[in-house]
Structure 1
Amino acid sequence: MEESGYRVFASCEGSLGTENTPEQVRRYFSLRSKSGGGECAVSQVGSHLYCVTFRSEEVRNRVLARSNHTLTTKYSTLILKLHPENPNTPAGDHPERQDPVTIPASSPLEVHHTKDNEGTGLATEDEGSTNEIQLKHVPPYQLLIQPYFQKEVEQEHPDVTITLDTNACSVKLTGPSSSVQAAKGKLQDSLSRVRTKELPFPQAVIGFLISKGLQEVSRSYFLQVGVYAILAVSVNDSKVVLHGLSQFDLQRAEKILGEKVSTTAVPLGEHLEPVAYSEDFADFIVQLNSSQKAVQISWELDGKNNNRIMLVGNREEFNATESKMVEFLWEKREDVELVKVQGPPEVPENLPHLMDFLGLGNLTAQIRWLPDAGMLEIRGKPTAVEEAARSLRQKMKGVVCKTVEICRPEAHTYFSGNGQAYLNSMQSTFNCRPVLRPKPNQAIQAQDLTHNVDQLALSKVFSRQHLPKTLKGADICLGTKDKEVLLIAQNVTVHIVQADKVTELADVVVNPLCRSTTESKMLDSAGADVKEELAKTARWYSITVTGPGALPCRLLVHIPCLCGSSMKDYLLSTIQECKRRRFKLITVYIDRNELHSGFDAKQMAKDLMLTTLKHLDAEDELRIVIPQEDLFNIFRDEAKTIHSTHLKLSELEFFVSASPRGVLACLGFKHRPKDDAESLHHHSHLCEPAVIHLFSRDRHLLGKAGSALERHYATFLSNDTLVNPSIRSAGRAAMDKICQLEGKHRVNVTVGDGVVIFNGLAAKTSQAWEETLSILDEDREQRQRDKHQRFCRNARWTIYNQQNLPVNIDPKDNYNLEIQHMTLRKPTTVQGQRGETLTVNLRTMTAKSSTTGLQHKVERTEVVGSGNPGKWSEMGSEDYRKEELDRESLEYRWVERMFNRTMSKCIITKIERIQNRKLWRNFSMNVTQKVQHLFYGITPGDYETIQTNGFFRPEESYFHSDTAQGRGIYFCVDASAAQRKCEFDHRKQKMMFLGRVETGRFTVGKKSFNAPPPINPANPRELYSSVVDSVDKPSVFVVFRSDKTYPEYCITFTE
C-alpha cells in the first residue's frame, strides 16, 4: 500500500510457531480472509504488538466491530485482541497520524522524515526543532541501538528529547536545532552500522525459535553474552533473519545458534507408524511440548514428501524426549490379525451383539467384521489379539441363525421400543439371542406420508361410476347393532332394521298381501287412493304396481305372498321391475301379524337375502323393516350365517366379527387377527420391516423361537373394518382424508364398496377407525346440509310468532317439512326461534309450542329470486333453457309422485324443467288467485311450440264433443286422463306437461263458453278463474287465457 491512515493495533496471545506473524496477520485481514477487512499493511511495533493500517475508515470500523479474532494455522493458534489506539502509549499522549513512507530496501531499519516547527525545513538557533526518523522494524532499534544511543545523547545533548513512537514506528528528536541535528547524526551513524543476514534454517527450527519468542531468544542467547544481534524471520517465514551491529556480531550469533539449537529426526519402524498417525499421539505431542521448553517436537516433510518426527532444541535433552516418545508409541502399539470363521455370515456381522451370549465379553481386543474380505479383523495388544483369535474360533463353532422378517407398518418401531423387553426374554426362554437389524435407510418416514394417498384405493372408489353397473366384487362383510344389521356382499347391501314404520325415503316399498288385499298397516298409511287402485288392478299370481299414495317412496309393489314357496319368484319380478325403472333402493315391510300363520321365518329370511344378493346390481340396497324383535333376531342370525358360510366357501381374505361400536348408519367392528406368519407379511408402501436374527446352537429351539416371535407380534395386530354404505357416496375430500390416515397412523387402509379396512397395530387401527367414522359422519352431515340449503332455494316454510311476524326455520327442518308435505303429512317437530320445540300440523298448517301451548300460523312459499323461481339453474343472459332434473332430487320425486299416482304402469324416462323468462314473467304478473299443478297431454309436434310460446287451445273440432266444457285450454288433474291425448314419437315415447294453472274460483263449464262466466250476474266484471267438469270432484280444468298458465315440467315416459 502506498498510503494508509486508518490504524488498528493488534496485541497477540500465543504463537504461530514457524509462521511469519505479520504476514499471516495481513492475510487474515485481507479481502480473501473471513474478517472481510480489505487490503491492509502490517508492521510490528512492539513485543507481541502489531499495527494494521487500512485505506478507509469504513473498513477499519468494520474490523473493530469484533474485538477478538482467532488466527489458526497448521502448527498453532494466535488470539488477536484489537485496540483503536496503541495500548503501550500513555493516555492523552497519542501522536497525530503521520503519512508513512515506504522504507528503501537498502536500509533495513530507517528512512528520515524531518519537519521543523514551521514546516519550512529550516530553523534558527533559538528555535525548537523536531526531526522524525521512520523505522522499518522497532525491535532492532529497541534492543541494539536505543540502550547506548539514548545514554550518549542524554550525556552530550541533554536538551534533546528522544521519543520512540511504536505506533508510528518512528523515533522523534525534539530540541534546539543544532542539538537535534547532532543527535540525528549519531542515530544515523548507529543505524548505518546495523548488518543483516538470512539463515536458511529448517521449518522445525524456525517454529522452535518463534515458540520461545524471538526477542527472548535474542536476549538470552546473544545480548546477555555481549553479542549485539537479534533474531527475526523473513516475510514468507522460510528463513531466520539476524540483525547485528557488526559483521562480527552476526558471525558470533550464528555460531551460538548452531550450538544452542540442534535438530534430529526420530526413526520409526513400520510397526510404530500407525500409532504415530493416531490422534492419541498428536495429543501426546501437544502435552509434551507444553511441559518442556528445551526441546520441541514437530512433524515435517522430508525430501520424498513423507512425514517424519523432528526434535528441535537442546541436544542434551534429545535422548530423554525421544525415550518418552518411543515409550508412548510402544505402549500404544497394536497387532492386527484377520480371522476367517465358518458358519452363516449373520454371526460375524452381528458379533458385537453376541459377545456376552457366546461368552466373549471379557475380550479386550477390538473386533471388526470386514464384509468384503469375509473375515474378522482383530486389533489390539499382541496378547489380547492372540487370545481373541483363539476364543472366536472356539465359541463361534456350531452357532446357527434363523431370520424372521415381519413386514408391517411400525414393526421395526415396536421391536426397537416396547418389544425390546420380549426380545430380551427370549434368551432365557429359548436359549437364543435375538438381534434386531437396523432400520433400512429407505424406510418411509411418517411425516413424508401426510399426503401419500393410496391411489389404488382411490381409483377403486372414484372410478366406480365409470364401471358397468353389473360389476360386483367378491367381498362380504357384516356389521351388527342392537336394532340394525348391515350385510354387504358383492357390493350389494342388505340393511335390516327393527322399526314400527317406514320413515326413510325409498324407491320402492314392497307390501305383502298374504292375508288381505285391502287391510294392512302399509295400505292404511298409503291412503284410500292406493286401496282403490289396488282393488281394480290386483293380481293373484304376480306382482301389482300402484302409486305411492302418502308413503315416502316412488312406487308401491304388492306381492301376493312373502312367506310361501313362490316368494323368490315374486321378489325376482320386483327386482326386474326396479331395474327397468332404474330404481336402486327397495324397502320391504315384514309384519308377523300380516303373514300366514306357521310360516318358516328362518327360511324366509334366508331366501329373501340370498335372492337379493344374487340378483341386485352393484350398489343396490334392500332395506328390511321389521316391527317384532323376535323376528328381527331371526333375520340377524341368518345374516350372520350367510356371512360366515359365504366367507368360508369363497375362501376370502376378509376377516370380520361383530362389535357394538358405531352409530346409526355407521356400523363398525373389529376383526380377530390371524396369528400365523403369513398374516404378518402384508407388504405395502407403509411397511417398516423388522428383520430379526435369532442365534443359537440348538436348531430345534431356534425354530420354536421363530414361531413364538411371530405369534407374539400377531397379538398386537388387527384388521378393523368399518361397514358403512355411505362410503359409496362419500365426497372426494372425505376419501382423501380417509386414505391419508395411512401416513398419519401408519396403518394399511383399503377402501372397498361400503367398507374401509384398517390393517396394522391394534392401537393404531382403532384410532384410524374412530377418525374414519368421524370423517364419514361429518361428510354425510355436510352433504345433508348442502342438500337442505339447496332446497331452500325452491320452497321455504315460515312460522309466524306471537306478534304475527315471520320467523324462518332451520334448513334441515325446512327440508323435513317438505318431505312430510309430499308424503304422509304427519305432525313434525321443528326448533323455534328461541330453542323451543314446535309441533307442525301440515293438514291445518299450524304449529303448537311445547312451552307455551300457543298455536302459530305456518306458511309454505316458493322462493322467487331476481324475478325467477329460486329452483331455476343459472341462465346468464339466456331467455330460455331446458334443465333435466336429478332423479334423486326432491323436485324430481315430487313430479314423479304426481305422475305415478295414476300412471304407475308407465316408466318415466326423464323430467325436464322449462325455464322461459318471457312466459314466467307474463304468468307471474297476471296471477292473482289460487294456482294448481295440472297435466296437459301433447302430441310430439306440440312440444317445441308449448315450451317456447306456452299452452294453446285444442282444435275447433274438439269443442263440439259432448265432454267439452268451453272453448279454452284443457288441463287434467290426473296424468292418466292427460295421457289419452298423448301420441308416441319415433322412439316409442310419449310426453306430457305438468304446468302451473290459475284455477282460482271455478264453476261447471259449457260448450258455448268462450270465457269464464261471471260469479255474480249482477257484476259481470267479476269472473270465475276457470271452469270444470264437476265442482265436487273436478278432473278437468279449463282456462281461457294462456298467460294464466305456465308449462313448468315436461315428462317423457314409456308404457
Structure 2
Amino acid sequence: MVDCFDEIWSLLKMNQNRVTLRAFHFPYPCVLISGPCCHVRVVQQALTSALASLTSQTLVLDGPGVQRYFQTEGKVSKELVESSYNVLIREQQDAYSPDVKIKSPSVSSPISSIKPRPSFTRWCGNPVGSTAVNKTSLEIKLGSLEDEQVNVLVVPMIKRQLTFTKIGQCLLSKAGNRIKVHFALMASKCPPHPGDVLQIDGPPSLGCSKIFFIECLPWDGVRGKSVEALNKGLKRCLELCVQQGFSSVAFPVIGPGIVLKYPLREAIEVLTENIRQFGLSAASGSLSTIHIVIKPGYPDSEECYHDVYRHLSLNMNQRGQAIFRSLTTDLDDITITVGGGIKLQVVFGDITNETTDAVVNTTDFVHFRRDGVCKDILTKAGPQVEAILKSTKVKQGAVVRTPPGLFPCEALLHVCGKKNAGIIEQLVCRIIQDCETFGYKSVAIPAICAGAGGMDPGVVASAILRGVNTATSSAPLFYLTDIRLVLIKINVFLEFKEEATQMFSTAVVNRVTVPQLPQVQQQPPRSLNADLSSLHVSSMNQQSIFLFLGICSKTVVDAMAKLKDLYQAQCSSETFSKEQLESLTQDDIKDLNQLMETEGLYMKRDWGGQGSLMVTGLKDGVNQVIQMINAAVHGNLRREVRIKEEEDLYNRVAWCILGSNGNWERLPKTANHNLEKNDIAGGIMDAQGTKWSVDPQRTKAQRQVTGQTAELKRLQNLPDFTLPLNWDNMAAGGDMKMVALQPSSAEYRSVKEAFKRTVHKTVMKIERVQNVHQRRAYEARKKQISDKNAQRGGAGEKLLYHGTTQDNCDSILKTGFNRSFAGQNATAYGHGTYFAVNASYSAHPTYSRPAADGSQLMFVARVLTGLYTQGQSSMRVPPPLNDQQPHDRYDSVVDKLDNPSMYVVFHDNQAYPDYLITFK
C-alpha cells in the first residue's frame, strides 16, 4: 500500500490541502502527516477510518498469457476497469506463473515475429528418389602394391605361405624379416581356411598400418571353391576396414599369374563386383578411398587397366544414380600451361580418336602398313592419303602436310624422327610452327619413334616436351591454343607424365572429382517429419494473481468479474489432429516452440488418445499457431502433389547429365521435373548433391563451384519401354535405329579399346544398335534368369563378340540372333548361337567374311551367360542342372569350363546386338 498510496488517496477522494502526506517503508510501513496540529489529527482520524473501510480481494485467473495481455494490449482495458469501478488493480506473480517475456506492440502482421517457414523450394533442394551416395572414392593406381601409402594393404596367400605369390615376395623384399616373423606368428595362432583373412601390423618400412592376407585357392572354375573363397575374403577385408575405422585400402587384382591361374577377366570381375556390392551397401563408414593397384610392364597391363576401368566406370552408377564419389586413375590427363598461355595436354588414349584441327602421323615413309600409329591413321584416312605419301619425296626433318582424307581433321602432318632425339625435338618445333602458319588451333602428336621405332619412351618424352617448350616460348602464337600428346601405351604415358611434371611446375592432373557430398535423401519427404516429442508441452496450467482494492465489496466483485470477462474474451483454444501434426518438420517444431514461449501459450498433448494437441492462449498467438500448422499442412499437400508429378514424369521422361567418366547419369526426380518444366533459374542438383547452372536451351550444365561443364540430354521413354541411358531418342513410331558413335565420345573409345586389345586391324566405324523390340525381349529374359539364379550369380551378363557378314548382319539387326542358323560355321559345342570372349576370334575371315572393299563386320553383344556348363556338339538345349529337376537347366554352355573363350546360348532373346563395328 505504501507503493501505491497516491492512487489510494485518490481512490478515497479525501481532498486536504492543509497537510502534507508522505508514505515511507522504514522503519516500518507508515504515512507521515505534516501540518498544523489540528488538521493533522482530523486527517489522521479520517484516513484511519477510510482505510479500515476499504475492501480487498484476490482474483486468480487460470490460463496462459494473462499478465502478458494486461501489460500490453489489455493495459488500457484494465485502466478503464479501474476508473469505471473506482478500484485499484495490482498484479502479483504466483509461484506457478512463469517469467513472462513481453514484446513491444507492433503494427506488423500477427505472424511477423515468427521465423519464416521454409518455402516450398526448400523441399526441391534435395533430389527426391535418388540413391544415398557412398562417400568412397575409387582410384586406379599403376605401380607396386608394396609402395602404396594407405592404411591397409590386401595381399593373397596360399596355404599360409607368405612367399607363394609374387606380391608376397615383393612385400618380404621391401619389409624384411620383420614381416615374415609377424606373419608366421599370426598364421600359427589362427590357421586360416579358404576365404579367411589374416591380419598383421604393417612394419615401418611399408606405408600402411595393417596388412590383410586372404587365404586363396588356385582357379577351379567360375563356380568353384576358388571364386567362393576370394569373394568371401574381399568382402571381409572391406568390412574390417569399416569396423576398424580405416580410411584407405589398396587391392591388387588377385588371381592372374602362374600360382592362382585365374583368367584375367574373371579375376577383375570378382574384385570389381565386390567393390560394387560394397558401394551399394552405403556402409562405407570411415573408408574414403579404395585403390586398385595394377603393375605396369606386363604383357596384359593395358588390358588389365582397360577392363578394371570399364568395370568400375559401369559400377559408378546404379540405374543412373551415383554410388561412389569419384573414379580417378594414374592415367588421367595432365594439363600444363606453357609459353603464351598455350594449353598442353598429356593424354592416355588412341590418336585415331582425336578430332583436333591437325593430327601428326609418325612414319618412316616406307613401311606404311607396319603395325602401329601409321597403319591406324592411314587406314582411317583412306588409300588416297597413302598414295600421296608414296609419291612424295621427303627431306630429312621435313613435315609433310596432306589432306585428311576420311580422318576427321583439317590436315595430317607426317614426320620421320629417324630414331634421333635431336631430330624429334626439331620436328615438334616445326609442327607447332606449321600449325601457326596454316591457322590450326589444335594439334594431336603421338610418341614419335617410341612405338614401332623402338626408342626409349623417356628419351622421346624429353625430346618432344623440350620441342614444345622451345616453340611456345620463343615466339608468340596467335592461332594455336591446344597441343595434345596422345599416348597409347601405359609405360609411355607414365614416362611422359614424369617428364612433364619435372619440366613444368604448372602441370596439373586433370581429374574431375566430386566435392564433399551432402547425403541425398532417398525417402519421400515424410521422412522429414519432426519428432513431436520435442514439442515443449506445458506440464501444468499457468496462474496469474491480481489484487483488487475498492471502497465497497460490490464494486470490487464487479471489477473482478469484468477483468475476468476481458481476459476470457481474448482467449481461444484450438485442437490439432495427429494428421495435421505429422505435416510439421523439425524446423516447424523449433518455430512452434519459439512461438509458444514468445506468446505465452499453453500446449497439451493427448498422449493416450488420438495423439492430438490442444493449444490455449490469447487469440493472436493461437491464430499464429493455426496459420503455421495450416501452412505446414498445405505445404505437405503441395509436396505430395509435387512428388506425384515428379514420379509420373520420371516414368515418362529421363533427363541425363554426362558424367566425368563419359557415362550418362540419370538426374534425380526433382532436377528431372525442373528441367522438363524449364524451372531452371535456381539451377539443378545431381544425384551426388552437386549444384549446376543450366543454359536456357537446357543442353549444357555448368558446375557452380568449379565452372566445369557437362552435356545434358532428354530421353522420351516409350509407354512400355524405358530407354537405356546411353541411347538416343527414337523417332515417333520407330522401333529400330542405328546411331554412329562420335570417335571423341567415351562410349566409342570404350568399345574400340576393348576390340583393339586382341585385334590389330583399324576400326572404321562403330554404330550403336537401338532395337526396341529386341531390347525389350532381352530385358525380360534377363529378369527371368536373374530371378532364377538369384542365389547363384544372377544373369551373368557379358559383353562378347560375334563376327558376321553383311547379309547376316541385316537379319540380326531386324530379328536378332537366330539359333536356326546354327551350323553355318560350327556346332562343336551345341546347336546354338556362338559368342567369343576375344574379338580376335570373331575377326577371323571365317566368321567375319570381308566385303569387296576389304571391310569386315562384328557385333559387340550383350549375352546372358547365367549358369553354364561344358558344351557338346549334340546339344540343342542346355542340359539340366540335375537329373531330379529336368526342367531346371543351365543357361548356356562353353568351350572349356576353367577359362571359357566361347559361350553358346540356345534362346534367341538371350543375346542383344549392342554395337556393330566396321573394321579393316
Please say whether Structure 1 and Structure 2 have the same fold, judged by a TM-score greater than 0.5.
Answer: no
The TM-score, its normalising length taken from structure 1, stands at 0.26
Which structure has the larger Rg over C-alpha atoms?
Answer: 1
Instruction: From the two aligned structures, give the one with the greater strand fraction.
Output: 1
